[in-house]
């Protein structure tokens, strides 16, 4: 199994690892951050611009794409890579999470989930088998098993029942997916915040055998401490030689905390969504460009950044664009944020290679605590 | 006067001319199309991207900028060029037209116009003197006199009274503007669709003396035939050696018709606004990407275009982006449209130089009549 998707770990620092995941679509440097391209577009960015920030892989959402434009249509157009002009690896989620958060009138049973599209109310059924079919039609490089994202909070009984359903679906997903030459399948650990359930889930997935392992059901309101504790209860039970992906996470400090606990891959809408809302990520923490303090500030977001959006445009101009609702404001802040996240990941990889990740994390926390540059 | 803003006409073809307008901010190749950067941003485009389409100059709107972020603020930040990171020439309108179309509770008298901001309801006064002060604060390369855009239709009496007010304001504008070293002032011919009033207006402006001359009050509902007839009644009365600018125009066929009648400069929101609405301009006419005929069409908008947005992305993807309301749809179609308009202007300039503008216009009309490529 592991030879299908070579993962070469080049260096370790405590539980953290840095390496290369080799896919037929190109290499993924880990720890990796995957920008979210929900509906076949990393919002406000061209694919060549996303690549230029240093992203090796993007994520796209099966739920959105199955409803519009449809997986069969994308397949007829040559697959998702060609459709969105992104030739590097693409990871797709299974659709399950967004069925729960976006669709109406859901009915979940052993077979799968039936729901109404948030676009036109059409009734749609998603089973493990259909979720695999869709991701194969899309031509995903990395597909995810269909799972139920256990709500938070959940009782131990509810979390166990939900996790066990996800494990049965994981097995069905694997059977339906098969072992295509250029597509790979990750299992997803569930179990809420209960260590015994997380361990049982990890063991159940290992028994099936996947190309990689995700930790799901986090960043749903449990808080950073509970999230990191759940990672500590999950990661040690995952195969050492396979990539580990923490789904939907997170803030820079979440990512650092997770890498320190052995996570290799991340995705999150924060840099893109925040960029559209006037919020920038910097080493000094998040900066709200709507704030009047920026209105006459000729300084850039970060004069040391290698990203033109962060380095060359004044805060005064960014403030104006955001206040005026100009598309360029969303474009520039999305660009700056994606570049910052990739700069963070590059820093993390270099720190692991140098055996100083703990220092790197402490320095990042200290810079964030110092905050933004002082107002003029 | 004419030495202040050198205009070298390199070739003529009938009434059409092609040449170079030399400004301290760089040359403007004429006939020129100026993308509209309403609020200090050509919507959805970075300034370097606008320049790469071939634009030598952009237009910005005094009305919008005086209200937000304010002319004094832009001046404190080093002027509009630095603010929006566009170092080439900028033309600003006087604000008069948009006061009439956007602001509330207008009161116009000999002194100027008092109105309420569409943003916050604040009462604002705009006089010829204040319009010049604002444009000098912005650091405009080319400023426009304050005028009243005569409504259409208007009786001869109403059009004359409006034009005469504009001529008195033009004289006051000139007196207030002075002759700064790196800023230039254009007068604006008014007079509705009445040839005698247009001639009188042109003569009044010539008597004052401006760096260039605009034809205003058109593209306000009079139709293309009346617009072109009004140009024929206006342009012959303007100084041969000075640039002529048709404000707010227009469709590709409008531009061709106006160049054939001696116009050198244009601005219009059509390529940018249409781009945000899913409409693309091509040699085969305008293409509505919302149309279902594009949903599975793998072909680009125009495989012969030099613009990646028009050449490299499938119609199916553009259709999807537009239907899904993705920002990238607005970005790509705006880019394609601005590139098309600049390609049109480059074609016009080359045709004039070759003495075959009439043939070029006939070929363009024929291609547009043939329409878009056939559906698959």
Give per-residue pLDDT as tens, B249-266.
999 999 999 999 999 999
Residue B115, pLDDT above cutoff 90: yes
Contact B314 A77 (CB under 8 A): yes
pLDDT at B100: 84
Work out the angle between the directed axes of helices B252-259 and B327-353 (0-180°, nearest 10).
20
Considering chain B, what percentage of its residues have pLDDT values greater than 70? 99
pLDDT at B1: 44
Task: Check if the beta carbon of residue A65 is closer than 8 Å to that of residue A79.
Answer: no
Contact B320 A68 (CB under 8 A): yes
Mean pLDDT over the full length of chain B: 97
β-bridge mates for residue B113, sequence order: B108, B126
pLDDT at B241: 97
Residue A190, pLDDT above cutoff 70: yes
Name residues whose C-beta falls within 8 Å of residue A140's C-beta, 6 or more positions apart in sequence: A60, A80, A90, A91, A92, A183
Q: Based on the number of CB atoms within 10 Å of its own CB, is B295 exposed (0-12), middle (13-18) or buried (19 or more)?
A: middle
- pLDDT band for position B293 (cuts 50, 70, 90): very high
Distance from CA of A77 to the nearest CA of B (A): 7
Q: What Rg, from alpha-carbon coordinates, does chain B have?
A: 20
β-bridge mates for residue B115, sequence order: B124
Residues of A in contact with B331 (CB under 8 A): 44, 46, 327, 331
Domains defined for chain A, CATH in brackets: 2-268 (3.20.20.105), 275-370 (no CATH)
How far apart, in whole angstroms, are the C-alpha atoms of residue B59 and residue B111?
26
What letters, b where the CB count within 10 A reaches 16 and e where it falls short, cover B85-101? Answer: bbebbbbbbbbbbbbbe
Check: complex ipTM more than 0.95: yes
Q: Within a 13 Å sphere around the CA of A287, how many CA atoms are in the beta-carbon half?
A: 29
pLDDT at A1: 43
Give per-residue pLDDT as tens, A281-322.
999 999 999 999 999 999 999 999 999 999 999 999 999 999
Give per-residue pLDDT as tens, B179-224.
999 999 999 999 999 999 999 999 999 999 999 999 999 999 999 9
- Per DSSP (E only), the strands in A230-335 are 244-246, 265-268, 279-282, 285-288
Name residues whose C-beta falls within 8 Å of residue A223's C-beta, 6 or more positions apart in sequence: none
Name residues whose C-beta falls within 8 Å of residue A263's C-beta, 6 or more positions apart in sequence: A31, A215, A231, A235, A244, A245, A246
- The SS3 call for residue B101 is helix
Angle at A314 between CA A312 and CA A319, to 5 degrees: 135
Contact A317 B85 (CB under 8 A): yes
Residue B120 falls in the annotated catalytic set:
no
Residues of A in contact with B326 (CB under 8 A): 39, 41, 43
Residue A104: count other Cβ atoms within 10 Å of its Cβ: 10
| Nearest residue to A140 (alpha-carbon basis) of A65, A213, A192, A196 | A65
The residue to which tokens 């009734």 are assigned: A123
Residues of B in contact with A68 (CB under 8 A): 320, 323-324
Angle at B98 between CA B92 and CA B101, to 5 degrees: 160
How far apart, in whole angstroms, are the C-alpha atoms of residue B294 and residue A147?
35
pLDDT at A139: 98
Q: Which of A86-100, A311-325, B101-115 has the highest mean pLDDT?
A: A311-325
How far apart, in whole angstroms, are the C-alpha atoms of residue B238 and residue B230?
13
Distance from CA of A315 to the nearest CA of B (A): 10
Residue B303, pLDDT above cutoff 70: yes
| Nearest residue to B317 (alpha-carbon basis) of B300, B302, B304 | B300
Nearest to B328 among A46, A73, A321 (CB): A46
Q: Which tokens hold the place of B376?
A: 């698959």
Angle at B250 between CA B349 and CA B241, to 5 degrees: 45
Residues of B in contact with A69 (CB under 8 A): 295, 316, 320, 323
How far apart, in whole angstroms, are the C-alpha atoms of residue B343 and residue B245?
19
Least trusted range by pLDDT, from A369-373, B106-110, B225-229, B286-290: B106-110
Contact B78 A298 (CB under 8 A): yes
Residue B312: count other Cβ atoms within 10 Å of its Cβ: 16
The residue to which tokens 């069925």 are assigned: A99
Nearest to B43 among A295, A313, A326 (CB): A326
Residue B112: count other Cβ atoms within 10 Å of its Cβ: 20
Residue B196 falls in the annotated catalytic set:
no
How far apart, in whole angstroms, are the C-alpha atoms of residue B345 and residue B351?
10
How far apart, in whole angstroms, are the C-alpha atoms of residue A63 and residue B159?
59
pLDDT at B106: 87
Contact B83 A314 (CB under 8 A): yes
Alpha-carbon separation of residue B93 from B58, B138, B140, B245, B318 (angstroms): 11, 11, 9, 12, 33
How far apart, in whole angstroms, are the C-alpha atoms of residue A296 and residue A313?
13
pLDDT at B215: 98
- The SS3 call for residue B215 is strand
Chains A, B: CB contacts within 8 A come to 98
β-bridge mates for residue A92, sequence order: A60, A143
Nearest to B77 among A43, A314, A321 (CB): A314
The catalytic site residues of A sit at 93, 267
Alpha-carbon separation of residue B271 from A157, B43, B268, B332, B341 (angstroms): 59, 10, 7, 12, 7
Q: How many angstroms separate the first and last alpha carbons of chain B?
A: 58
Contact A316 B77 (CB under 8 A): yes
Give the total residue count for chain B: 376
How far apart, in whole angstroms, are the C-alpha atoms of residue A293 and residue A319?
9
Alpha-carbon separation of residue B366 from B284, B339, B349 (angstroms): 9, 21, 19
Rounded to an integer, the average pLDDT of A203-224 is 97
Rounded to an integer, the average pLDDT of B156-167 is 98
The residue to which tokens 């109404």 are assigned: A116
Give per-residue pLDDT as tens, B326-376.
999 999 999 999 999 999 999 999 999 999 999 999 999 999 999 999 999
């Amino acid at each position: 199994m592991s030879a299908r998707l070579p993962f070469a770990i080049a260096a370790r620092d405590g539980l953290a690892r840095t390496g290369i995941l080799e896919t037929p679509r190109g290499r993924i440097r880990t720890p990796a951050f995957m920008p979210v391209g929900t509906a076949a577009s990393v919002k406000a960015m061209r694919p060549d611009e996303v690549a230029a920030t240093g992203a090796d892989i993007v994520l796209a959402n099966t739920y959105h794409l199955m409803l519009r434009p449809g997986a069969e249509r994308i397949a007829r157009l040559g697959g998702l890579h060609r459709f969105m002009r992104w030739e590097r690896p693409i990871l797709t989620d299974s659709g399950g999470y967004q069925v729960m958060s976006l669709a109406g009138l859901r009915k979940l049973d052993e077979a799968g989930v039936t729901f109404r599209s948030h676009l036109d109310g059409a009734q749609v059924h998603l089973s493990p088998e259909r979720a695999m079919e869709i991701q194969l039609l899309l031509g995903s490089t990395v597909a995810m098993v269909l799972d139920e994202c256990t709500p938070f909070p959940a009782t131990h009984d509810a979390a166990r029942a939900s996790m066990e359903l996800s494990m049965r679906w994981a097995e069905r997903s694997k059977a339906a997916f098969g072992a295509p030459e250029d597509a790979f399948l990750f299992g997803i650990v569930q179990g809420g915040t209960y260590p015994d359930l997380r361990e049982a889930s990890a063991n159940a997935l290992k028994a099936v055998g996947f190309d990689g392992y995700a930790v799901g059901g986090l960043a749903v309101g449990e808080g950073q401490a509970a999230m990191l504790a759940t990672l500590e209860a999950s990661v040690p039970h995952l195969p050492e030689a396979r990539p580990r992906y923490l789904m939907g996470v997170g803030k820079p400090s979440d990512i650092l905390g997770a890498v320190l606990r052995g996570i290799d891959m991340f995705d999150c809408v924060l840099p893109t969504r925040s960029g559209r809302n006037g919020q920038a990520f910097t080493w000094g923490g998040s900066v709200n460009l709507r704030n009047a303090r920026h209105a006459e500030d000729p300084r850039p977001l970060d004069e040391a950044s290698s990203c033109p959006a962060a380095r060359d445009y004044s805060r005064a101009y960014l403030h104006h664009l955001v206040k005026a609702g100009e598309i360029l404001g969303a474009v520039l802040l999305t660009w700056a944020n994606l570049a910052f996240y990739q700069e963070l990941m590059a820093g993390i990889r270099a720190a692991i290679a140098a055996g100083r990740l703990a220092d790197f994390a402490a320095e990042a926390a200290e810079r964030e605590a110092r905050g933004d540059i002082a107002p003029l």
